[in-house]
Amino acid sequence: MGRGRRGVGVVTRLNGRPENPMNRKAYIAMGSNLGDRRHHLQQAAALLGKVQGVVVRRVSEFLQTEPVGGPPGQEKYLNAAMGIDTALAPQELLGALHRIERQLGRDRSKEQRWGPRTCDLDLLMMEDMVIDTAELTLPHPRMHERLFVLRPLAQIAPDAVHPVLKKTVAELLADLAQRHK
């Protein structure tokens, strides 16, 4: 073990290995199909970067996509993905994402399922965590079925491994693209 790794800002895992508090990697999907879509995604990334315990490392291109599901006649989406380093627990991060959605004008009480929204922020994966509670499912249960999620995610994290399906993001995208041919 290198010298200095137990210095300030380093906590110790149960197995005794030192852990940098910011060393959890997480991936987030962003989508908007209401109002100024580009501004909503830019703001979402900027606001998340201001959350204590979050560093935004990568943001994909903003890709225009056809709406999947939901009511007919919806506008097209802009979708993107972000890669972050974080010290937050997954539930804390989800809370921060919900706060940002509200700041960007999202009001779930007025929405239909998969209907138009100013900003949807989904937590896709966090390290190799697998969680299934009423508030949070990790990895996101539909991420591997969504081209609008996998295409931008593959730009920033092609080698990230889905901890349940045991495939990389690039492999999931290739499988799904094949099925959509």
Q: Applying CB under 6 A, does 164 fall inside the site for ligand A4P? A: no
36 is known as an active-site residue: no
Q: Applying CB under 6 A, does 36 fall inside the site for ligand A4P? A: no
Closest CA to 55 of 91, 84, 95, 29: 84
Question: Pick the catalytic residue: 24, 37, 122, 146?
Answer: 122
117 is known as an active-site residue: yes
**The two structure tokens encoding residue 130:** 């697998």
Pick from 122, 148, 157, 169: which binds Mg ion (CB under 5 A)? 122
Query: In 36-136, which ranges are E strands?
Result: 54-59, 63-65, 77-86, 120-126, 131-132
Beta bridge partners of 54: 86
Pick from 30, 120, 140, 153: which binds Mg ion (CB under 5 A)? 120
**The two structure tokens encoding residue 174:** 């290739």
Pick from 26, 56, 88, 120: which binds ligand A4P (CB under 6 A)? 120
Cis peptide bond upstream of 152, omega within 30: no
Pick from 136, 161, 170, 176: which binds ligand A4P (CB under 6 A)? 136
Q: Applying CB under 5 A, does 101 fall inside the site for Mg ion? A: no
- Our measurement of the distance from residue 93's CA atom to the centroid of its chain's CA atoms, rounded to an integer in Å, reads 10
**Residue 158 touches which of ligand A4P, Mg ion, none (Cβ within 5-8 Å per kind):** none
Distance CA 32, CA 75 (A): 9
**The two structure tokens encoding residue 71:** 């009511």
175 is known as an active-site residue: no
What element of type H or E holds 28? strand 24-32
122 is known as an active-site residue: yes
Q: Which stretch binds Mg ion (CB under 5 A): 2-10, 68-76, 86-94, 117-125?
A: 117-125
Pick from 20, 91, 103, 137: which binds ligand A4P (CB under 6 A)? 137
Q: Applying CB under 6 A, does 64 fall inside the site for ligand A4P? A: no
| Cα angle, residue 90 at apex, residues 14 and 18 outer, rounded to 5° | 30
Active site residues: 106, 117, 120, 122
By the criterion CB under 5 A, which residues form the site for Mg ion?
A: 120, 122
